[in-house]
């Protein structure tokens, strides 16, 4: 009787649907009615922004099929495996810090009123927004969540702190817009008595920019902190030390690969 796949193997196969969901969601954000509303209503433009800045990168990284075949997973010689080995040989903190700064800078840039007004008048700028948000966002999320064979090398507290910073940045931008007494975006014209007022439009946009990041980043923060609090010490440091007390052969077997690299058979 064939053996049943382990739960971890089932998850590795099923998680690829997350990448497909990211692609479908991105397409939905670029088609009517969203694409048309985003040129007339601030809340629709805010929805586009937070989806491409947070949801799409998170789903793509979590479900990315880096290894496209079973043979590639077994051999561990694919491009993704070579990248994972290269990442394991370089300091993680400077790289993650660079991606974090770039991510925050891109988020702030695309929420500046002058930039949002330019996008409303020149829809072609949407392609640049999508490209930069998704590319930089994916580079950042690889440092937060496992995307086998690419694994985060930051400690769990560092990952929790890194995830909180862009979330707070988006929230701060949302609150600034929400508490503004004037029309925050000059390109969006609202006629009294017709549709949403400027204040209502901005309040809905504020709620969207608060709610969507609240669904993406807190699970990462919570999972990292709970695992960190539950584990009294890093098993990567404990297991080799325990094995040394037995014999050299068992110490060699117990030694785990560097953080950020998964063995080909995993």
Give the per-residue pLDDT at 242.
42
Chain centroid, CA 200 distance in Å: 29
pLDDT value, residue 78: 63
Mean pLDDT of the chain: 81
Is pLDDT at 190 greater than 80 in this prediction? no
Residue 174 lies in a domain: yes
- Of 101-105, 107-111, 176-180, the range with the lowest mean pLDDT is 176-180
Asked, for residue 202, whether it belongs to a domain, the answer is: no
Whether the predicted pLDDT of 253 surpasses 50: no
Residue 2 lies in a domain: no
Q: Say whether pLDDT at 136 is over 60.
A: yes
Could you read off the pLDDT of 8-48 as tens digits, one per residue? 445 556 778 999 999 999 999 999 999 999 988 999 999 99
The residues, any chain, with a CB within 8 Å of residue 11's CB and separated by 6 or more, are: none
C-alpha–C-alpha distance, residues 260 and 33, integer Å: 41
pLDDT, one tens digit per residue, over 146-187 is 988 888 889 999 999 999 999 999 999 999 998 887 788 888
Q: Output the pLDDT for position 62.
A: 93
CA torsion 101-104-105-109 (nearest 10°) is 180
What residue numbers bound the domain in which 226 lies? 7-192+208-254
Whether 260 maps to a domain, the answer reads no
List Cα–Cα distances, 226 to 183, 192, 229, in angstroms: 42, 50, 5
Q: Which long-range contacts (CB under 8 A, 24 or more apart) does 218-221 make?
A: 218/167, 220/144, 220/145, 220/159, 220/160, 220/163, 221/160, 221/163, 221/164
Structure tokens given for 246: 């037995």
Alpha carbon separation from 91 to 81, 97, 124, 135, 160 (Å, rounded) = 18, 11, 38, 21, 18
Q: Is 199 among the domain residues?
A: no
Mean pLDDT (whole number) for 194-207: 87
Q: What is the mean pLDDT of residues 237-244?
A: 44
Q: At what angle do helices 198-230 and 42-50 cross, to 10 degrees?
A: 20
Residue 203 domain flag: no
The answer to whether the CB of 166 falls within 8 A of the CB of 159 is: no
Q: Is residue 266 part of a domain?
A: no
Greater pLDDT, 5 or 201: 201
Domains contained in the chain, number = 1
**150 phi and psi, to 5 degrees?**
-85, 120
pLDDT of 10: 55
């Amino acid at each position: 009787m064939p053996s049943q796949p382990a739960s971890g193997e089932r998850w590795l196969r099923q998680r690829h649907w997350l990448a497909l969901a990211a692609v479908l969601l991105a397409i939905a954000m670029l088609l009517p009615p969203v694409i048309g509303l985003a040129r007339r209503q601030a809340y629709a433009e805010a929805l586009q922004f937070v989806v491409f800045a947070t949801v799409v990168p998170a789903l793509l990284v979590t479900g990315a099929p880096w290894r496209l075949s079973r043979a590639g997973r077994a051999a561990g010689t694919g491009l993704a495996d070579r990248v994972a080995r290269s990442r394991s040989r370089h300091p993680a903190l400077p790289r993650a810090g660079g991606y974090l700064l770039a991510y925050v800078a891109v988020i702030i840039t695309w929420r500046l009123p002058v930039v949002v007004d330019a996008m409303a008048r020149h829809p072609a700028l949407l392609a640049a927004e999508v490209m930069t948000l998704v590319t930089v966002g994916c580079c950042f999320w690889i440092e937060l969540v496992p995307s086998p064979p690419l694994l985060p090398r930051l400690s769990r507290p560092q990952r929790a702190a890194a995830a909180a910073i862009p979330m707070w940045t988006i929230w701060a931008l949302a609150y600034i817009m929400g508490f503004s007494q004037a029309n925050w975006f000059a390109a969006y014209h609202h006629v009294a008595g017709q549709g949403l007022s400027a204040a209502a439009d901005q309040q809905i946009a504020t709620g969207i920019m608060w709610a969507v990041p609240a669904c993406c980043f807190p699970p990462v923060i919570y999972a990292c902190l709970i695992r960190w609090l539950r584990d009294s010490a890093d098993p990567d440091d404990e297991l080799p030390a325990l094995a040394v007390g037995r014999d050299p052969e068992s110490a060699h077997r117990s030694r785990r690969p560097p953080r950020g690299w998964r063995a080909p058979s995993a």
